[in-house]
Amino acid sequence: MTLYEYFVVYPEGGCQEIPSPLRLDQLVDLNGLPLPLPLASPRQIAYRVVKLRHDEERGVYPVYHYLELVGATELLSYCR
């Protein structure tokens, strides 16, 4: 049996476990959860998934999602 684990890696180097996998270019909030689109306001902290890394260990399959911070001007294009 293989156990899948999912993590987000923040630009500052911190790492946090998340409940489900993410897609490349997906916008997530500060906790690594997907943001619903369209956004209500560009005035929020948002990250974009820019890289995925898979490791294989005995019985454990961790997936790391690397994030980059998205600026407020870029978030405008995701708003209503």
Mean pLDDT calculated for residue range 11-29: 96
Predicted confidence (pLDDT) at residue 25 exceeds the cutoff of 90: yes
User: Could you tell me the pLDDT band of residue 45, with boundaries at 50, 70 and 90?
Assistant: very high
3-state secondary structure 40-52: CCCCCCEEEEEEE
pTM of the model: 0.90
**What pLDDT score does 27 carry?**
96
Give pLDDT tens digits for 63-78.
Answer: 999 999 999 899 999 9
- DSSP reduced 3-state for 69: strand
Statement: residue 56 has pLDDT above 90: no
- Domain residues for the domain of 22 are 3-78
**Number of domains within the chain:** 1
